[in-house]
Chains A and B, each alone.
Chain A
Amino acid sequence: MASLRDIKGKINSTKKTRKITKAMQMVSAAKLNRAQMQATAYHSYTDKLREVVGNIASANKGSLRHPMLQTRPVKKTGYLILTAERGLAGAYNNNVIKRVNQMIKERHKSSDEYTVIVIGRMGFNHFRHRDVTIAAEKLGLPDQPSFDDVKEIAKLAVGMFEDQEIDELFMIYNHFKSAISQEVRDVKLLPLADVETSSETATYEYEPDAEEVLETLLPLYAEGLIYGALLDAKAAEHAARMTAMQSSTDNATELIDKYTLQYNRARQAAITQEISEIVGGASALQ
């Protein structure tokens, strides 16, 4: 049986761990709040953008010829993977990575048929050691990423499609469903096949013409979608971390209770032993 001192030490170290997980849980809760606010502020932008793109697309059905709208034979697929900078968020990163590996396995035979673009250190560290070409990575994103932080990698991903380096682009990330549940999503980002068409189609004049407008609009739209997904993923990350830290705090509490019980038993045993020794000693003297 462990000595009193050992158990005391275990209790103390578990208490310290619990303090840390509790603090991390509260930090994540605050960050989640802010991430959600940021995501809401962003919605108005994406909604407007989608409206205009949808309007133009439905007003000129079929007559639009923009490379980003056209499906071409797929020789190479790009995967844009959104992971976190750190772990300690339950299955958050693993879920995304698992989905990517599964998609790759199902869709490709050799490794020259695809390439990945990774956001977040966890994903980067995973794919770095595997037979996967990483076209680009973005590490060290802050918890509240601004559009400028993401612009570079979003432009690059969209640029790769435009330059025909890749023929389709998928985006895999965790979608924030609620504070306790996240869901892995894989979205086909490019080509923009199914731009939602709004019911009321306004007829616009285009200055100078529809093609020119699409030329600036579509990249903006695609980059906007990437940024939107990232904000969604960040909210999911904070939520996942909050839940993970919550359950480890609970676990620590349970452990401490168990150790305290052990400690009390051990102490009681020591006292009993001492008494019986004294009694034994006294009776030996008589």
Chain B
Amino acid sequence: MNTINTSIVTPNGTVYEGDVHMISVHATAGDMGILPNHIPVVAPLKISAVKLKHEGTEEYVAVSGGFIEVRRGSTVTIITEAAEKKEDIDVERAQRAKEAAQEKLSGLNEKTAAYAEAEKELQRAENRLQVASL
């Protein structure tokens, strides 16, 4: 059976590398499922979970934005500022980050750039928690 050569790359190194059967991601334009021999595509991602399916097993990786690049010959690269595999997520730390972000949010005006920044932080923390609980 065909597989997709997948790598998830961050500034701090490669988080995931391997062959999978199917990838599903949440792009800003909508959810995408990628199977082998997909047409080359580039799409920005939401702060969300990436699902990597390999035979019977499923793996989840939390990514904070970035984008996915699908190349001819079933090669997929996800480039993002930060990514964590489900089993590597520190739930306690994510919980703390979530609380810190919520606290920051409550003290900020909705229209400032700092508010948007804090909101993103909250999303990232929530995303990590959600992926950890999958």
User: Footprint of B on A, CB under 8 Å?
Assistant: 41-42, 44-45, 48-49, 52, 56, 146-148, 151, 202-208, 212-213, 215-217, 220, 224, 227
Contact = CB atoms under 8 A, between A and B. Distances in A.
Contacts of B77: 48, 52
A237 to B, nearest CB: 19
Contacts of A203: 40
A203 B81 CA distance: 25
A39 B69 CA distance: 23
B43 to A, nearest CB: 4
A208 B10 contact: no
Contacts of B27: 207
Given A213-B67, A216-B44, A220-B66, A207 B29 contact: yes
Interface residues on B, range: 20 to 34
Residues of A contacting B: mostly: helix
B108 interface: no
Given A213-B44, A216-B44, A220-B81, A147 B12 contact: yes
Contacts of A151: 81
Interface in B8-27: 9-14, 27
A207 B82 CA distance: 21
The 9 closest A-B pairs by CB, nearest first: A207-B43, A147-B11, A41-B13, A216-B44, A208-B29, A205-B41, A207-B29, A204-B40, A45-B9
B42 A207 contact: yes
Contacts of B28: 207-208, 212, 216
B67 to A, nearest CB: 6
Contacts of B100: none
18 contacts: A42-B13, A44-B9, A45-B9, A45-B10, A45-B11, A45-B79, A48-B77, A52-B79, A56-B42, A151-B81, A204-B69, A205-B41, A208-B43, A212-B29, A216-B28, A220-B66, A220-B67, A220-B81
Interface in B25-55: 27-30, 32, 39-44
Nearest to A212: B44
B39 A216 contact: no
Q: Which of B10, B11, B32, B69 has the most CB of A within 10 A?
A: B11
A205 B11 contact: no
